[in-house]
A and B are shown apart, each in its own frame.
Chain A
Amino acid sequence: MTALTRNELLKMLLKKKMLLILFFLLIFVSLFSYGQQYAYERNLEQFEAETGEELPDWRDLADRRLDDLESRRANESIPENVRTSFDREIQQLTYFIENDINPITPTAFSFNTEFAEQGIVLFIPLLVIILAADLVSGEFSNRTVKILLTRAVPRWKILLSKFLALFMMTTILVFLVAVLSTLVSFLFFGEWGINEPVLTGFTLSEGTLMSDSTILISRWRYTILIYSLVWFVSIVIASITLMVSVLVDSSSSAIGILMAALIGGQFLQFFLADWELVQYFFVTNLDLPRYLTGSFQPVEGMTLTFSILTLAVWAVLSLIIGFVQFSRRDVLV
């Protein structure tokens, strides 16, 4: 089994698809960080042009906001949980003031999470699909599957070894996305922002977003959380891709089917938002990080747990179908 997995892994590496993926990543990350840096500078310029004044010192604004929060906090008629949410904002502001960091400056660590948040519905799944789509279908179109199956191992072991290799590569891919987006954006922004406090932990209660359960955590921890979700999503996409790859004969139709599902899913979400079944489609649930940032419109019944369960069910079903189909399939090539 180990030997099989090792064999599969080496096959994936030798195809050099990882290099293609890294190349894509590099281009996109550079473009996005350049764009963000550009937009940031433009905004500053525009502000100065419009108002004819220098940008007000952010520290003044932050100080005033801090005073304001503190005086509000001292108000006895404020309920306890509102007070704690003030406390968290005070803490956050104090950090920025003490460390002399303007909260709106883009930093490498805020970029890498933003990149993940934006990329998780389309771009990162696309990379995983490139990685996985030809795993099985490629063996058929190259006719190498005969050689693979003539070995004295059960078919399920062969597919399992492929899945394990894919699992490892996907994990490494997610890590590379994180590392590349951090490093490249650091070149543009020149700030790490590694310890900035971030607000997270929003909960839903009776259909409203609750901010009083939030906690402050530092940027790098937050990055790990976001990328953990990205990782989960990637593994789910990898499982689904593996199934499609078993079902169709050529890698290009595998990629086509999956891209159509991803893009079509976005449309579905947009046009049929009221249709309850759409909630159970995997594409609708890909955007997990939004539950952490609290930047989502609460939809009835959609919570992080719900999305994760839906995705997990899709992954497990895909694997089952994939394994069953692969074991039964007639190999005629």
Chain B
Amino acid sequence: MYKKIIWPVIVLIASLLALIFLSGFVYSVFITTGDDELPVDEQAVPTDDTTEEPIAGMPEEAIGERSVIDPNPEEWETVLVMGDSLGSGVGDEDGLGFDQRYLELLSQDDSLERELTNISVPGFVSSQLADQLDTGEYDLDIETADLILISIGGNDLNRLYFQDNETMIAEFDETLSAFLSNLESVLTTIRSLNPEAQLALIGLYDPYNLEDQEINRLLLEWNHASRLAASADARLAYIPTYEAFQYHLADYLSDDLFHPNGAGYQTIAESLYQVLN
């Protein structure tokens, strides 16, 4: 009895299952290869975000040679923000970001109506920012801006954090020099369109509060190098954030433990105010 029933039952079930599995199998192949031929928009590859950016700034050396020309906040009518998720205010409970918070600080001094344009894209690395400017799409924004705030580099550096120590140190120099040349290209593009605008580059802070001396050293080295690069332009201010965040990580980081929260953005805005005004 058992033998008689089991045979047709097994054949039936097995063929049915085989059919289902076969179609599922074909579908899996289809979805993982379906888009292969689509052209990939290079500039648009930013990953979903967890791998994003920040690490910020560096303090100690005194604010050196720069500002031969005094900045005139009263004359800044048009402000442009570019860069990564820090520029777009990711993590800020009020959705303001350091740009709007800075403008608020400015508006306490005068009643000027300022226009703010934000072209930051979360997840951007320096090469993507350089490409973004190269498209020429934002030339007009750059030409008309009086103040340009740039936040970039965090994602470049953060990518290294996911590797083990040795690879990281080996790749650090390469990443840093790639970053510096991208930064130079960004600055050249901006200056060729607008030699007059005041620029500000936001430094990186350390969102991980690492005890690892080596990594800390690399971050400081990164900030130091970008600061040196910034000093080549008299109207480019470097805004340190490293110190401000160093002892206040818990207060200044948002729930993702990577981006600043409102208070963190406020601190960056205040540093901007201190340096520029």
Contacts and interface: CB of A to CB of B under 8 A. Distances in A.
A24 B119 CA distance: 57
Nearest to B138: A77
A95 interface: no
B40 A10 contact: no
B24 A227 contact: yes
A232 B21 contact: yes
Contact of A305 (B18, B24, B33, B90): B33
B28 A9 contact: no
Interface stretch (B4-12, B190-198, B219-227, B238-246): B4-12
B121 A213 contact: no
A10 B25 contact: no
A225 B33 contact: no
Interface residues of A, number: 54
Nearest to A75: B88
Contacts of A303: 32-33
Given A75-B88, A212-B44, A215-B31, A174 B7 contact: no
A33 B40 CA distance: 41
A188 B33 CA distance: 36
Contact of B44 (A81, A168, A169, A200): A81
A305 B14 CA distance: 25
A77 B7 contact: no
Nearest to A209: B47
A48 interface: no
B95 A67 contact: yes
Contacts of A169: 10, 14
Contacts of A68: 90-91
A200 B33 CA distance: 12
A10 B41 contact: no
A72 to B, nearest CB: 6
17 contacts: A56-B255, A68-B91, A77-B119, A169-B10, A172-B13, A201-B31, A204-B36, A205-B36, A208-B45, A210-B35, A211-B48, A225-B27, A231-B18, A291-B32, A292-B31, A304-B29, A308-B29
Interface of B: 3, 6-7, 10-11, 13-15, 17-18, 20-25, 27-29, 31-36, 38, 40-41, 43-48, 85, 88-91, 93, 95, 118-123, 132, 138, 255
Interface of A: 6, 9-10, 13, 56, 61, 64, 67-68, 71-72, 75, 77-82, 85, 89, 167-169, 171-172, 174-175, 200-206, 208, 210-213, 215, 224-225, 227-229, 231-232, 288, 291-292, 303-305, 308
